[in-house]
Chains A and B, each alone.
Chain A
């Protein structure tokens, strides 16, 4: 019982609903093997180096993003979510075999099993954790040798003097005071708020990245992940609203986190004109008794975030930076810089 795989075996029974996804994995893996055998010779002509092209001088033109870049961006986010939920639900992180790849591999700071008291919350956490680990495995399988390694992750509460990413996020949102410590592994409610920080980001990230995916096979797969993320976000928002009816601080905290995400991604409601410009919404409507479980625009469509806006939130920085927050050394891959929203 020392690693996640062992614990996951307990829940194999519920994994049958993922058979279809796994069939796709086998299909994708099979084509790789078949073509691997067809690999031929490298370029020839070594005796005439005067004809060989030179390295392109700086500034080198930026290569267009390809599907692998986009899926690797998603993989970075899935590493973050999977580690958070795996620790929260099972008390262990991802198996080491799921962490390797290109770029700089990093460790995980923080993470602990939540002492759940509510069976519903515990079961939700377990289910989401298994899905997120499966997302990591799926993306790694699809990317194959092109998959990025897990970057360094900070999913810790830290201390008042040395706050972890969760505490920094909660302080910035106003969920806790400027010197408080937010530990998402402390109890059910803390876990729900911690999960809430990520969930809507995942939905908007996949929707925003969808136009960047050229291959329809992988676009459909990404749509499948987006739908799973939307289910996850919906259930976290639902249970926060339900518990918020008796514990109003949960609603307040969730709405503060939503506003903080808006502030980071540069889509803030204009307070002087009252024009709603935010891409993020809290879990209540015009008053605290009105739910807003599904954050959508006037057409009932979920919001999109650009890759830069997504990185603003996970880096906890509204400026154009390449590391910070939950990714203290940045993400791996070619999409790594947040947007300039300051």
Chain B
């Protein structure tokens, strides 16, 4: 609910900003092609993630590369019977719940150029920045212990095409292109018996698409509002669970640990069920047009 409130507020401010000034702006810009040329700018706003209810952690117990196994205790009971949540675990037990995924502010710099022919505008924009968002999923074992796998956006760059229609000094456009992002894969657990090693490439290709409105205020200054959807395939994060030092020194504990039970005593591998890092972004923009 908080996110919707922030988005609505942002949209209201941006809309008010755009439509409050046209009469004044029109007086200052009489260019035939107000959107042609190079520009540099900045964008900032609030990024939110779609609901990922039902996401979980999947397990490969037998080492065959398929994440379709259950992790069982020595008695055959499901060691993860307490279940999963689509956030980060607050504590070791499910009763204390999970934190929601982190949505957050975004701030980008951008540069590009447009070519205008009549009302038609096409162009390219390059953008670089970051958004304070994290996407987590947590599992709870009967130990009790919790296991949180998180992906966090460190930075994102994109090159997008823009195409739109200009109505005098107002441009309505669609945009889409390739994105390249650094995504950190993180792992947290309250399990102190086993050893955990997290792996996974952290630079991913994806795509960005959306649309927006840009309004020229002066010959050189424009502001706007833009919605974009971002999606990156992030499917190779793995957490390898093996016997920790405490287990290795105790044959009884070792012989009863669900992650290293016979026949595969080498360990268990985790991966996330949701393979994509997705988010929506609503930003205000400001540009200086040369």
> Residues on A close to B: CB < 8 A?
28-29, 31-32, 35-36, 38-45, 47-48, 50-57, 60-61, 63-64, 66-68, 71, 141-147, 214-215, 217-218
B74/A214 in contact, CB under 8 A: yes
Judged by a CB distance under 8 angstroms, whether B150 is at the interface is yes
Chain A residues lying within 8 Å of B197, measured Cβ to Cβ, are 40-41, 44
Grouping DSSP codes into helix (H, G, I), strand (E, B) and loop, the A interface class, with mixed when no group exceeds half, is loop
Minimum Cβ distance to chain A for residue B22 (Å):
43
Chain A residues lying within 8 Å of B102, measured Cβ to Cβ, are 50
Judged by a CB distance under 8 angstroms, whether B143 is at the interface is yes
- Identity of the chain B residue whose Cβ is nearest the Cβ of A31 in the assembled complex: B251
The A-contacting residues of B in range 161-215, CB under 8 angstroms, are 184, 186-190, 195-198
Minimum Cβ distance to chain A for residue B246 (Å):
6
A-B contact count (CB 8 A): 146
- Identity of the chain A residue whose Cβ is nearest the Cβ of B98 in the assembled complex: A53
A144/B249 in contact, CB under 8 A: yes
Among B75, B144, B186, the residue within 8 A (CB) of A63 is: B144
> Residues on B close to A: CB < 8 A?
73-75, 88-93, 95-96, 99, 102, 134, 136, 142-144, 146, 148, 150, 152, 184, 186-190, 195-198, 240, 242-256, 260, 265-267
Q: Knowing A48-B134, A68-B256 touch, does A38 contact B74 (C-beta < 8 A)?
A: no
Chain B residues lying within 8 Å of A143, measured Cβ to Cβ, are 250-253
Minimum Cβ distance to chain A for residue B85 (Å):
12
Minimum Cβ distance to chain A for residue B249 (Å):
3
Chain A residues lying within 8 Å of B253, measured Cβ to Cβ, are 66-68, 143-144, 146
Cross-chain pairs A/B with CB under 8 angstroms, 28 sampled:
A40-B196, A40-B242, A41-B197, A43-B196, A44-B186, A44-B197, A45-B198, A47-B186, A48-B152, A52-B188, A53-B92, A53-B146, A53-B188, A54-B90, A55-B91, A56-B144, A56-B190, A57-B91, A60-B93, A61-B93, A61-B144, A63-B144, A67-B74, A144-B253, A145-B246, A146-B250, A146-B252, A146-B253
Minimum Cβ distance to chain A for residue B182 (Å):
13
Q: Knowing A32-B248, A54-B91 touch, does A64 contact B142 (C-beta < 8 A)?
A: yes
B251/A42 in contact, CB under 8 A: no
Minimum Cβ distance to chain A for residue B70 (Å):
17
Among B96, B195, B240, the residue within 8 A (CB) of A42 is: B195
Chain A residues lying within 8 Å of B148, measured Cβ to Cβ, are 51, 53
A144/B240 in contact, CB under 8 A: no
Q: Output the residue of A35, A47, A61, A141 with the most chain B CB within 10 A.
A: A35
